[in-house]
Amino acid sequence: MDMYFEKITILGVGLIGGSFARVCKKNELAKSIFGFGRQEENLRKAVELGVIDKYSLDLNEAVEQADFVLIAVPVGSILLLAEKMSSYLKKGSIISDVGSVKDSLVEKIENILPEGVHFVGAHPIAGTEHSGVEASFAELFEGSKCILTPTKLTDHETLQKVKKLWELMGSEVSFMEAVKHDEIMAAVSHLPHVAAYAITSFIFDLRHVWPDILSYSAGGFRDFTRIASSHPAMWCDICNYNSEALIKMIEQYETSLNQFKTLIKEKNWFQLEKRMSEAKTIRDGFYRSS
Amino acid sequence: MDMYFEKITILGVGLIGGSFARVCKKNELAKSIFGFGRQEENLRKAVELGVIDKYSLDLNEAVEQADFVLIAVPVGSILLLAEKMSSYLKKGSIISDVGSVKDSLVEKIENILPEGVHFVGAHPIAGTEHSGVEASFAELFEGSKCILTPTKLTDHETLQKVKKLWELMGSEVSFMEAVKHDEIMAAVSHLPHVAAYAITSFIFDLRHVWPDILSYSAGGFRDFTRIASSHPAMWCDICNYNSEALIKMIEQYETSLNQFKTLIKEKNWFQLEKRMSEAKTIRDGFYRSS
């Protein structure tokens, strides 16, 4: 399988897009890597750091003649970009994305893109709470999972090529239906983010009573709330595009939290310890074996 | 202030008790350090590791002639031990504890201990999710806070001595009323633990639908649920002894979570992003400056 591209274009050269570009560079996957974004400062830095070769603030110029276009912008901007660039795309080119939400995007993108342009939805499950090209690094995807969500329209050869690309990134690639992807992500990623924001926001309110409250927190609190330092606009987008599955998961979590509260209220320490032990066992077991 | 003790006794030579003993050793604060506990294997290991000098499974032998006794057992066993040992304690000796809950313990301990024996309630805000003497290390308390909760019965000189002791551990010591201590800890420590157990428990249930669900989780989930690997029996005790403040905090958190859910349901992205940004700002600000 030919894994060499004349021109790769990265739309959004941030943590994910930048890290992707770094691996392309390292593996010499392209003659040139082009960057596009809204913040010229970030793109200039990306060139300085050697993450991309060139950049343009003009979408047309950025994607024209590209063999591979990676849409690595926040979920809320993906459809708009797909629409704007659709008439400039080269026939036979491959388009992929890195959005954390798939069901509400993949089919729409397929409808937007012109015939002869091949799309595969992708979600690399990797990241840190930092953003911007300076936070990017070539090892970001190593050992992580990348989920591809092919549809009945997906071109087989393109799918294999995108799979291979993510394997070169160091990811373990799996295929999944977009709906299932979104429900699983709502549970293990989107819900924890909302829960962390909600707990930090609540502590924020308590500062009116105890201004120094955070100074009494320890490592547990720091780790528990780390994801509340993530990019708010990005997470609003994710909540928006995956709201149905997310609301379902928040409600199931509310039920679980309420059960714990009830056990405490009823002083049912036997059952509480049982529930806590189950949780500890599954977590310890997973992180020991992974 | 004389900070030398003939005999220091540690009841419960685990993560906290063991780390405390290690610093006592390092600073040569005692002629001998005595350990007491229920698991002989752990105590034998503590002697082997040089954390304590001697141990006994007999409480009487462990505390007799001790100048300083640190109660470092789980919250649920503190009162029982205080009761059992009270008649063996030396006149003039100092007793302290490390319980994460204070209001429901401190006054009761003061009532249990005989006259001439001085008690100061203490809570070093330090720990990891591991337990046992092998998890202990002398640097555990460095840079952490230690809260002392004196009452109107507390002997002034003893208070200063216990303060000095925790400063030698590397802690920054502050005084606080037990009730306030418990409410603050319910918010920044006990609630996050219950929330982490509840979310992990809920994911546990989802495994019936998606057996491989955890394999799609990333670093955010790992950190968010780290405290759900804490010791269940210990945390049941804490829930028990601080149930009133904890239930209040769980309810306030439920309100906050519900507000986030409502914003998502109502597609109020402006307000959602505002709440997320506030949370991020307070967290980033605190961890940048601390």
| CATH code at position A112 | 3.40.50.720
Last residue of a domain, one of A176, A204, A224: A176
CB contact burial A252-269 (16+ within 10 A = b; e otherwise): bbbebbebbbebbeeeeb
pLDDT in tens, A99-128: 999 999 999 999 999 999 999 999 999 877
The answer to whether residues A38 and A165 belong to one domain is yes
Same domain, B200 and B158: no
In this structure, the answer to whether residues B164 and B187 fall within a common structural domain is no
Q: Give B147's contacts in chain A (Cβ within 8 Å).
A: 216
Total number of domains constituting chain A? 2
Q: In this prediction, what percent of chain A has a pLDDT beyond 90? A: 86
Q: Same domain, yes or no, for B17 and B98? A: yes
Shortest Cα distance, chain B CAs vs residue A19, angstroms: 17
Whether A164 and A209 share a structural domain: no
* CB-based contact A280 B193, cutoff 8 Å: no
Are A42 and A17 within one domain?
yes
Please state, in angstroms and rounded to a whole number, the distance separating the CA atoms of residues A43 and A36. Answer: 7
Q: Which of A136, A10, A5 lies closest to A70 in space, CA to CA?
A: A10
Q: Domain end: A125, A144, A176, which one?
A: A176
Query: Nearest CB to B228: which of A199, A259, A280?
Result: A280
Q: Of A35, A60, A37, A39, nearest to A50 (Cα)?
A: A35
Q: Is the pLDDT of residue A288 over 80?
A: no
The answer to whether the Cβ–Cβ distance between B247 and A264 falls below 8 Å is yes
Same domain for B143 and B23, yes or no, is yes
Q: What is the pLDDT of residue B246?
A: 98
Q: How many other C-beta atoms can be found within 10 angstroms of the C-beta atom of residue B152?
A: 5
Q: What is the pLDDT of residue A289?
A: 59
Rg (CA), chain A: 21
Of A217, A230, A280, the CB nearest to B232: A280
Q: Give the domain extent around B92.
A: 5-176
CATH of the domain at B240: 1.10.3660.10
Contact between B283 and A259 using a beta-carbon 8 Å cutoff: no
The token pair at A261 is 């509260």
pLDDT digits (tens, 9 = 90+) for B185-237: 999 999 999 999 999 999 888 989 999 898 898 888 888 888 898 889 989 99
Given A154, A176, A198, the domain boundary residue is A176
Helix (H), strand (E) counts: chain A: 12, 9
Distance from CA of B36 to the nearest CA of A (A): 25
- Scored b (16 or more CB within 10 A) or e, A86-117 reads eebbbeebbbbbbbbbbbbbbeebbebbeeeb
Query: How does pLDDT run across B52-71, given as a tens digit for each residue?
Result: 999 999 999 999 999 999 99
What is this model's ipTM? 0.88
Same domain (yes/no): B172, B184? no
pTM beyond 0.80, yes or no: yes
Same domain (yes/no): B30, B102: yes
Are both B193 and B170 inside the same structural domain?
no
Is the CB of A261 less than 8 angstroms away from the CB of B284?
A: no
- Mean pLDDT, rounded, of chain B: 94
